[in-house]
């Protein structure tokens, strides 16, 4: 019997992606720099992850931190990254672009989606900075995106459950609406109940201390800790969803 629920893990390294698979995730969203909301991973990271995983590999296409209003040069970079992901036989890409007025940048999104096919396309949390979520949802559906990742325009999915539930009702099966941001083993079943969602996005991250014996100098922000996905957290969420 097919699983009713899907668990996507936001993996910021090859190690985290492998951990996600071992923990029972259905797919990974591969990225770097989680501390700024994620950016496009390196080419080596994409190749090694694709080679090492049998579950779905979706790659974040976000050239920089900050807003989602991109220059022509940044757009060319995004197109190049999409083409590379297709060459690497990834299963999907995760993208999002807005206009200066807060509407979805449908024109340039359409170019990226056409370039990406036959890969799946997820519209990411740029959605959470749009001016009208219900108008934006229709634009994203009309573009043909397979999935929408959202926290319901709040800092966490738990805070945004009411809006997420409204979006799922409006979508009516035309697109998968996937809650993300702050989802953990402590709240995933509650969010499922409150929203009606069947697909969930979590980083399941923990801090890992540096293995360095020698720590010299007084420069901060280098060599202290890194974020990694925790297999125990992933396994617990996967089991919770499986047993619903």
For 117-152, write each residue's pLDDT tens digit: 999 999 999 999 999 999 999 999 999 999 999 999
Task: Give pLDDT tens digits for 154-202.
Answer: 999 999 999 999 999 999 999 999 999 999 999 999 999 999 999 999 9
**pLDDT score of 225:** 81
Predicted TM-score (pTM) of this structure: 0.95
**Surface-to-core class of residue 167, CB atoms within 10 Å of its CB (0-12 exposed, 13-18 middle, 19+ buried):** buried
Q: Are 154 and 179 in contact (CB under 8 A)?
A: no
DSSP H or E run through 222 = none
Domains of the chain in sequence order: 6-242 (3.20.20.380)
Output the average pLDDT for the chain: 95
Would the CA dihedral through 119, 31, 26, 190 be positive or negative? Answer: negative
What is the pLDDT at residue 1?
39
């Amino acid at each position: 019997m097919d699983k009713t629920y899907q668990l996507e893990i936001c993996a910021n390294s090859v190690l985290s992606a492998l951990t996600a698979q071992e923990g029972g995730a259905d797919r990974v969203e591969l990225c770097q720099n989680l501390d700024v909301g994620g950016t496009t991973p390196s080419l080596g990271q994409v190749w090694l992850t694709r080679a090492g995983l049998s579950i779905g590999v979706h790659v974040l296409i976000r050239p920089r931190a900050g807003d989602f209003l991109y220059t022509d040069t940044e757009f060319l970079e995004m197109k190049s990254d999409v083409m590379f992901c297709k060459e690497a036989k990834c299963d999907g890409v995760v993208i999002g672009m807005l206009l200066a007025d807060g509407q979805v940048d449908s024109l340039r999104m359409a170019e990226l989606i056409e370039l990406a096919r036959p890969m799946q396309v997820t519209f990411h949390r740029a959605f959470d900075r749009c001016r009208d979520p219900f108008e934006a949802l229709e634009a994203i559906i009309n573009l043909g995106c397979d999935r929408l990742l959202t926290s319901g325009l709040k800092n966490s999915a738990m805070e945004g459950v009411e809006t997420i539930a409204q979006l799922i009702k409006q979508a009516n099966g035309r697109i998968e609406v996937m809650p993300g941001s702050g989802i953990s083993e402590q709240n995933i079943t509650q969010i499922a109940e409150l929203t009606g969602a069947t697909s969930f996005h979590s980083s399941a991250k923990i801090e890992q201390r540096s293995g360095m014996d020698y720590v010299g100098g007084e420069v901060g922000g280098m060599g202290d800790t890194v974020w990694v996905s925790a297999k125990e957290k992933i396994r617990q969420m996967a089991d919770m969803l499986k047993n619903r």
